Structure 1
Amino acid sequence: MISSSVVSIILVAAGVTWLPRVLPFLLTQGKSLPTGVIKFLRFLPLTIIFALTLSSLVDEKIGRLPSFLLVESLAVVPTFWIVVKSKNILLAVLVGILSTAILRFFF
């Protein structure tokens, strides 16, 4: 049996997760944003993808300089090529997974 405190914690966590995702849409509904804000927001998906990609390519440990991971760095090359040529994210994800799997088989 689930206690009321567990249900309360789940509901609060759901609200805390949901609120920042929905609140911007509610606050800007029917309003136009300044041109500078729109230009900034257009770069967010690219910067987020770059940050996620870079963090998966670099091995960082306390007390050592960061180093690039060989397999992941090599797998980025065909994945990036697919993204540039096809503009298909799903295909790029599949190529990245397959490239990583094949490279890990050999390295």
Structure 2
Amino acid sequence: MPTTLTPAPAELQLAELAEANRPVQLPLLTRVCEMLAASPAVTHLLVRGSLASGTADRLSDVDFVVGVHDRDLPAFASALAAPAARRRRRGRARRAAWPTRRCGRRTRD
């Protein structure tokens, strides 16, 4: 005897979809805001786009604006760039230390 399935109420389906697509960026955004707000150079923090309007999903990008005093901008930019430069240097050092395979032959970068 075939069973008849009744569809779930629209509210339940919508809640499940909303939960499945909930922005995962919010915890990261909160942490970044806390770190930036601790800097005396920062004057404004502004979230824009779909996160600000409440229409973001898990694939949305983060539109984030940071206001900094003009006099503090060079030092602030250097402080932001320093970790990225260290990561790039470490990456080059790792690539140089590990042999790789190219065209079937073992070589060093």
TM-score, normalised via structure 2 length? 0.28
Q: Which has the higher contact order (CA 8 A, sep 6+)?
A: 2
Q: Which has the higher helix share?
A: 1
Q: Which has the higher strand share?
A: 2
TM-score scaled by length of structure 1: 0.28
**Between Structure 1 and Structure 2, whose CA radius of gyration is higher?**
2
